[in-house]
Structure formats: structure tokens, C-alpha cells
Amino acid sequence: FSSQFNSIIGGRGTGKSTILEYLRWGLCDEAPSSTDYEDLPTYEAKRDNLIRQTLAALNANVQVNFIVNNVPHSVRRDSTSGELTLKIADGDFDTCSELDVRNLLPIQAYSQKQLSNVAVRLEELTRFIHSPIRQQLDNVNIQLERTALQMRSVYSSLQQKRSLERTVSNDERESRSLIEQGTAIRTGLTGISTEEQRILSQHDQYIQEEQFVNALVQQIADLIEALDRIKDLIDHPTVTDVDISSLPNAVVQVFNLVTSNT
């Protein structure tokens, strides 16, 4: 066998099919998933008999040497224990799995008679079709899993968005209800004068004015604090680490004037 030409030539009964079965067995050609011996295809049963009668009886093993990307590999399979060992380049033989061997050198080998059995078994026919494109199928499955994860993430975000929208809508309805209730209560109040009714109707305006006054008081307090800092600077002209970023513009101008004179 070589990279240019593979051929086994011989007369009937010279062992051509036997060599093929040894290669398939040594390179771990994937068997059907069924473990029932009677359910195995005819060629699978014949191969098992061949291994037991010609190899296991002699405690022999099969070793297949092949080259992958200019790197020599050797697979050795024991006929009695079924142990698989793999040697890569000049390394030692190490235990490996059937999947390791199939990943290194996947094969599909059938005689003409064996192909007729494959054609009538759906499981074998599926394997025959999928094996050459196994890597592409694996990539498609990985992409499908990624897409499924993305879809679940997007759906979760959508559910969260809908939940927030419902919460906002409920809050808005509750707010409108409270406003209407307040208006109805003020309108339905009895035993109060017209002047008191007018004051109640101006409640919102009073609240706004109170907020404005509070903001103004805070600004005045900030200004007093800023002036105190300016005074400290005048009393201690050597102080330079003064933060003026929060001071009003007018105070900043005074601060700059003082510092320039000192």
C-alpha cells in the first residue's frame, strides 16, 4: 500500500479478504451499535470468527503502520485482550482508544458482497454515508448548539424586557389611579370652606415652591461654605491645595483674583 496506489492481487482463496478484515479490525473500523451477535451483519460476524480462529488461538496481534502528514504512526491490537496501543513517530507504544485510532485514520472498507449487506441495513447505510463527512457533521452540531444557546439567551432577555414593561405599565396605572384618587378625595371633601378648597387645589404648586426654596437654601449654604474657604485662603496665603471645582463662577473669579495677588 502507498499514497499513490493500493491493491491486493491474488487468486481465489489466497487471503485478499482476510488482509482487508485484519486492516479493518486493526484500524478499529466502527461496528454497528447492536451488541447482539445474531443482529450483526454477515461480514461483521465473519470477521469476528476470523479474529478468534486465526489470531486469538495463537495469542497474536495485528500491527498497522501508516503515515499521517509525514509522521509515522503504528497501531497494535491484541487479539486476546483487545488492548490497543499507539506509537507516534519515535515514541513508545501507549494505550489508546478505538476513537483515537478512528480520528487519526478513519477508514471504510467493503467488498462487493459486503456492500450488498450495507444497502439493506438502514443503520449501516447511515454510517456509510456519514463517515466521510463526520467532521462537517460535528461542526454543524456545534454550530447548532451555539445557536441554541444564543436563542435561549435572547429569549431570556426578551422575557426580562416583557417583565420590566409589565412592571412599568403597572406602576403607571397605579400612579394614575393614585392621582385620580387624590383628586376625587379633594373634590369630595365636605365641611371645608371655599378658601380651604382653593388651598388644597394649589397643593402641587406649593410642593414645587417648597422644592425650589430648598434648592435655593442649599445654594446659599454652598456659597457660605465657599466664602469661608476663601477667607481661610486669605488668612493662610500659603495654602495651595484648594478644590474650587464645585464653587460658583462668581466665587471662582474672586478666588483666582486672591490667588493672583498672593
What are the domain boundaries of the chain? 16-120, 133-201, 202-261
CB 86 within 8 A of CB 98: no
Give the pLDDT confidence of 80-108 residue by residue, as tens digits: 888 889 999 888 899 888 888 888 887 77
Residues shown for the chain: 262
Per-residue CA distances from 13 to 19, 42, 167, 185 (Å): 12, 18, 82, 108
Burial 104-132 (b: 16+ CB within 10 A, else e): beebeebeeebeebbeeeeebeebeeeee
Residues 32-52 have pLDDT tens digits of 544 444 445 566 777 788 888
Overall pTM > 0.85? no
How high is the pLDDT of residue 106? 76
CB neighbours (10 Å) of residue 13?
8
CB count in 10 Å sphere of residue 7:
7
Do the beta carbons of residue 68 and residue 103 sit within 8 Å? no
